[in-house]
Amino acid sequence: FSWAEPNLSTPYYEATFAKDGSLARLYDKQQRRDVLAQGKRGNVLSLSVDLPKEYDAWNIGKQGALMQYALDSEVHYRVLSCSEVGITLEGTWTWLKSTYRQRITFGAHSKRIDFNLHVDWREDHLMLRTAFDVDVRAMRASYDIAFGVCERSTHTNTSWDEVQFEVPAHKWVDLSEKTHGVALLSKQSYGYSAKGNTLTLSLLRAPTYPSPQADRGEHDFSYALLPHAGGYEQGRVIEEGYALHQSLIAERSEQVCDKLDDHFSLVEATGDGVVIETIKKCEERASLILRLISMAGRDGVCTLRSALAVKQVWICNLVEERLEQLSVAGQMVEIAMKGHEIVSVELVLNDE
């Protein structure tokens, strides 16, 4: 990496940076295609005028799409770390009354590009967003919501489409064609938009009513870009969304025990788009309750495996009343699931 020629080569990408620190080009080596639309950029930070007609702290000013401040100062990144894990670049700058520090990480073993942004926010009635103009055309975008995925149009052909200029989603928005797509993921922010071929994420607002100092101060954001093959299911966007939200934590233990296998899970669910959303103790019994979700949106069979000594497996309703007992074979059980279905499973252990 060199700022004499601001290019970066990683195992997955060729990246070129613009003077304002945004991505001027991002080439996917695996897909052999540009991620960004020709002549467009990615990770473009903008400040939009945010003056809603009423309910200052609740609504978003619609005029912000036409009244924006673009970052016009140069941002120079330095190499913060470079190892077999990946490379991290860091840049700092001042923009209007606020200061910014951003770290961009290209992983050596993952296609996900992480953006970690620290902001000391001092603006009034402005809204901070980041945008990626991607080389994808689709009539509808997919959004992660609680226990499922919803779709919204990417055009403004009707008045209904026009007012849906932002979607309150959880972990990600994905725009895909049949052969490829791009997902924008976030850990803390929930205001996503996919209009045309532009993916945006709202990061900060600065209302003055009812609190004159709402959101002023220091903030940390983590968001990521994930180009992939196929749709969001084939591109493992669901898994990467959970990985971004629930990062691995390494802890040193003083216990002495045998070595585990390279791949080990106390409980594992295999099946297209099936996620173990929750593991909890049963409210009225000593057993464990699992909440399984079929995020793929189609019927299938989930195979549940456990390293625990399981004696019985029950299908329960949401208030944990037993409905049906399943047969267990070698610590493994098969569960038929409908698309977007939530299934509660009770594991009765041998020591109970």
List domains and CATH numbers for the chain. Answer: 7-245 (2.70.98.30), 267-349 (2.60.40.2220)
Cβ count near 229 (within 10 Å): 15
Cβ count near 342 (within 10 Å): 15
Choice among 152-156, 188-192, 326-330 with the minimum mean pLDDT: 326-330
207/351: higher pLDDT? 207
Q: With 70 as the cut, is the pLDDT of residue 169 above it? A: yes
54/194: higher pLDDT? 194
Taking only the tens place, the pLDDT of each residue in 50-87 is 888 888 999 887 765 667 777 777 888 899 999 999 99
Contact 137, 197 (CB under 8 A): yes
The confidence band for 331, taking pLDDT boundaries of 50, 70 and 90, is: confident
pTM of the model: 0.90
Alpha helices in the chain (DSSP H): 159-163, 237-245
**Average predicted confidence (pLDDT) for the chain:** 90
User: How many percent of the chain have pLDDT more than 70?
Assistant: 95
Taking only the tens place, the pLDDT of each residue in 246-266 is 888 887 777 766 676 777 788
Taking only the tens place, the pLDDT of each residue in 216-244 is 999 999 999 999 999 999 999 999 999 99
Q: With 80 as the cut, is the pLDDT of residue 296 above it? A: no
Cβ count near 9 (within 10 Å): 13
